[in-house]
Copies of this chain bind each other. A is one copy, B any other.
Amino acid sequence: MERIPKHIGVIPDGNRRWATKNGLKKEEGYAYGLEPGLRLLQAAKRRGVRELTYYGFTVDNCKRPKEQVSAFSGACSEAVKMIGGEAASLYVVGNTQSERFPKDLLPYTSRAEEKEGDSVRVNFLVNYGWEWDMKNGWASRGIPRVDLVIRWGGMRRLSGFLPIQTVYSDIYVVDDLWPDFREEQLDRALQWYRKQDVTLGG
């Protein structure tokens, strides 16, 4: 039987670089990251993945210029609603106590009951911060261990993505920028993952 990761963490990096490359303003890049998120979810579902966690935006990200903050925050809200519509269960985790947290996402911050069927659980990190997570006694503990992290945009780092859930994760980096998502990138990641052995540190 094929070895498929149960839970994939998604770091959709490179929206701003993509915008610059395509003659747009940096903050215009985020809108182009929505539809890839939906296509990734659909492709992952067809391949038997049971859970996805998207790195929406972080407390750290909010130090950026305000046009960017407003753009990614808006894109993130849209993504949650659009992508979440396809999910069996939708769960948003982040610091809701700050005004950066999009109010329209508050209804998703407790785990919903799962709908019937063989669909995918989807989690979004929204106004998330690893320090916030740790200081609040592992606030993200409702999200299980991540088997495979796929990061777009070429950087080989986790950038604060769920430090506890990723301690044993295999990390696969796609050099292409996130708005250039193609299904074959997922397939290559899954192909690579198949060859890794799970030791959980043993």
Contact = CB atoms under 8 A, between A and B. Distances in A.
Interface string A168-182: 111110000000000
Interface residues of A, number: 28
Contacts of A64: 202
B160 A163 contact: no
Q: Report how many copies the assembly holds.
A: 2
Contacts of A166: 158, 163
Given A60-B202, A163-B164, A163-B167, A156 B172 contact: yes
A53 interface: no
B164 A61 contact: no
A130 interface: yes
Contacts of A157: 168-171, 196
A172 B166 CA distance: 17
A151 to B, nearest CB: 10
Interface of A: 58, 60-61, 63-64, 130, 134, 138, 155-160, 163-164, 166-172, 196, 199-202
Contacts of A200: 60
A202 B134 CA distance: 19
Nearest to A64: B202
Given A63-B202, A64-B202, A202-B64, A167 B158 contact: yes
A185 to B, nearest CB: 16
A167 B58 CA distance: 13
A134 B167 CA distance: 12
Nearest to A160: B167
Nearest to A62: B202
Contact of A134 (B61, B164, B169, B171): B164
A66 to B, nearest CB: 14
A167 B201 contact: no
Contacts of A156: 170-172, 196
